[in-house]
Amino acid sequence: MVGRIDRTYKPIDCYSYAKGVLNPYPVIKLKLYNLVSEVGEYSIAVDTGFEGSLLIPSDIYREYFLVGELPRSMWRLYKTLTGQVSMRVSRGFVEVAGMRIETYVETPLYGGFKFLIGRELLNKLRILLDGLDQRLCIVESI
């Protein structure tokens, strides 16, 4: 049992924080699939500031996610501190803590970039951030 607020939770799966430049950061370990095959297993940083789903590098996107892409008029635009960023959008599945979840998969229209999990996907999970023990747990309500 990991905690009680107005309900009780138990962990399904926990992952140690990754080493940051100065401070460790929470990650979620998941298997990523496009609509026809498995793409790979990754530990991906949690970014609650990112409103989208799952951001991936553009080389992986181009190799695996042209299958299932959304029309250009449905690609996304993000407002950031340094201006707007356009994203291509596709779809796939992730497997995390034994759950299979449909998700949008995004990559910047220009530039390579990195893996991030944003709020649209985070909001499909129950998550405990334990900063003192430096671990993130996917939990379930009991």
Partner 1 sequence: MPLVLKKVSSEKIKMLKIEAIRRGISLSQAIEEAIELWVRLGGSSGVVEDEFRDDLFWEERKNEFIKKYYGKYIVIANGRIAGVFDTLNEVSKFLKEQGFRRRVLVVHVGVDKEGWVGEWWGGSIERISQ
Amino acid 47 reads D
What phi and psi values does residue 125 have, to the nearest 5 degrees? -130, 155
Side by side, the strands of the sheet bearing 127-130 are: 3-4, 8-16, 135-141, 127-130
Tell me: does residue 76 bind partner 1 (CB under 8 A): yes
Residue recorded with tokens 């993130």: 136
| Beta carbon of residue 56, minimum distance to partner 1 (angstroms, whole number) | 13
Which amino acid belongs to residue 122?
L
Q: Which residue among 78, 99, 127, 135 contacts partner 1 (CB under 8 A)? A: 78
Which residues share a beta bridge with 30?
42
The stretch among 10-18, 83-91, 122-130, 134-142 that binds partner 1 (CB under 8 A) is 83-91
Taking the complex as a whole, how short is the minimal distance between the CB of residue 95 and partner 1, in angstroms? 13
**Residue ranges that bind partner 1, judged by CB under 8 A:** 20-22, 35-37, 45, 47, 49-52, 66-82, 84-86, 89, 91, 93, 102, 114, 116
